[in-house]
Amino acid sequence: MGERSGKVLPIIRRQVIGQAEGQVNKLKLIKRQMYGRAGFDLLRRRVLLAV
């Protein structure tokens, strides 16, 4: 079990980190698109709908 978990854990960790980075990139994209267009309420709505 110890040897197997040592090989599986890095793969799982990489997937989790990749998913988090994808969400951060999506948020940054929305913020760039919304820059100067509307207030915080519209930005908040778009972020909540995207996630």
H-only helix segments in the chain: 2-34, 40-50
Distance CA 25, CA 19 (A): 10
List per-residue pLDDT tens for the chain, 51 residues long.
455 555 666 666 666 777 778 888 888 888 888 888 778 888 888 888 876
- Whether residue 33 contacts residue 43, with contact meaning beta carbons closer than 8 Å, is answered with no
Q: What tokens does 28 get?
A: 């940054």
